[in-house]
Copies of this chain bind each other. A is one copy, B any other.
Amino acid sequence: MELIDGNQIAATLVAELKAQVAAIPGRRPCLALVRVGEDAASVSYVKKKEKTAAEIGIESRIILPPVTIPQAELEKLIDDLNADPAVDGILVQSPLPKPLNEQAVFSRIAPQKDVDGFHTVNIGKIAQEDSTGFVACTPAGIMELLARSGTDLAGKHVVVLGRSLIVGKPVGLLALQKKAGANATVTFCHSGTRDLPSITRLADVLIAAIGRAEFVTGDMIKPDAVVIDVGINRVSDPSKKSGYKLVGDVHFDSVAPLATKITPVPGGVGPMTVCMLMKNTVKAWTLGRSSTA
C-alpha cells in the first residue's frame, strides 16, 4: 500500500506554478478574494489562499465587505471586479453570512473569472468536455492527485460515492471524459443506492465524497483498489487537546491494507484545493491574455 501524499504533490505544483508565473512578462496574475464578515474558518481559509498566492507570485486583492453589506451592493462589487481588466480570478469565500444569497452571488461572477468553478457555464463545460472552463478546486485536485500518483483511469471502473455539485458530479464527469488519463467507466452512487457494498466493490478507483465519518469499510473495497478520501469529518477524541480528531469518509485502518494507493486524511485531497485555485487563476490570466491579444 502506498500513501498518496497530498502535501508533497501540492508542494510540487506550487513550485511549478511559481516558475510559470516568474516567466510572465509584465502584469502578474491577480486573484480577488472577497470575504464577507469575520467567520473564523473563512478568515483562516482566505489567509491560506493569500499566503499561497504570495508564494507563487500571484497578486491577491483582499476585499472585506462588512457583514451588513446588502445583496445588491455585493453584486455591484462583483460586477466591478468582472469589469476590471487587472483582475483575472474572483473568489467569494463560502459560506456567506445570512441573509445573503450565495448562489446569486456566485452566478454573478463572470464565467471567465470564476476560478472556483461554481458557475453553471463552467459545470456545463465539464460535461461538454470543453477545456476552456474552470473545474472546481476539489475535483480538479483529485484528478491531479490521480495523475501525479501514476493512476491512469483509462478502462478503469471509477465509483464515485456522493453526487454533490462541488465534488461528486464534476469528478465523475472528468473521469468519464474521452481523453488521456481519463476515459473511465464511471458509476455514481449515493444515499439512495441499494446494496452499496456490491457497487463499491466494483471500483478499481473509489472516490468517497459522502461526508460521513469512516463510512467506507474494508468489506466495501475490491482488493488492489485506489482509494481517494474526500471527507473531512470531526469526531470526538478525548485524548486530543482539542477534544476531536479529523477523519475521512474512509475507515483507514480496514481499507488501507486492501488498497494499492490511498489518500490520508488529513494530508490527501485537502492540501490540493488551494493549489488548484492558484492553477485556475494562472489559467484565467492566460485565457484573458489570449482573448484580448
Contact = CB atoms under 8 A, between A and B. Distances in A.
Interface of A: 119-130, 154-157, 163, 165, 169-170, 173, 176, 178, 183-190, 192-194, 199
B124 A155 contact: no
Given A169-B173, A186-B187, 17 more contacts: A119-B124, A120-B120, A120-B125, A120-B130, A121-B124, A122-B124, A123-B128, A126-B127, A127-B127, A128-B165, A157-B194, A157-B199, A163-B176, A169-B176, A176-B190, A185-B188, A185-B189
Main DSSP-derived SS at the A contact region: mixed
A130 B119 CA distance: 12
21 contacts: A120-B121, A120-B124, A121-B121, A122-B124, A123-B123, A123-B124, A124-B127, A126-B127, A127-B127, A127-B173, A129-B165, A155-B194, A157-B194, A169-B173, A176-B190, A178-B190, A178-B192, A183-B192, A185-B188, A185-B199, A186-B187
Contacts of A119: 124
Nearest to A121: B120
Contacts of A188: 176, 185-187
A116 to B, nearest CB: 14
Contact of A193 (B123, B125, B155, B199): B155
Of A119, A120, A155, A165, most B-chain CB atoms within 10 Å: A120
A165 B120 contact: no
B185 A154 contact: no
Of A124, A129, A188, most B-chain CB atoms within 10 Å: A124
Given A128-B123, A176-B163, A190 B194 contact: no
A-B pairs, top 3 by smallest CB distance, nearest first, are A124-B124, A120-B124, A123-B124
A37 to B, nearest CB: 26
B155 A178 contact: no
Contacts of A170: 127
A184 B189 CA distance: 8
A107 to B, nearest CB: 10
A130 B190 CA distance: 19
Nearest to A127: B123
A195 B133 CA distance: 33
B169 A127 contact: yes
Contacts of A190: 176, 178, 185
Contacts of A130: 120
Contacts of A120: 120-121, 124-125, 128, 130
Contacts of A178: 163, 190, 192
Nearest to A168: B176
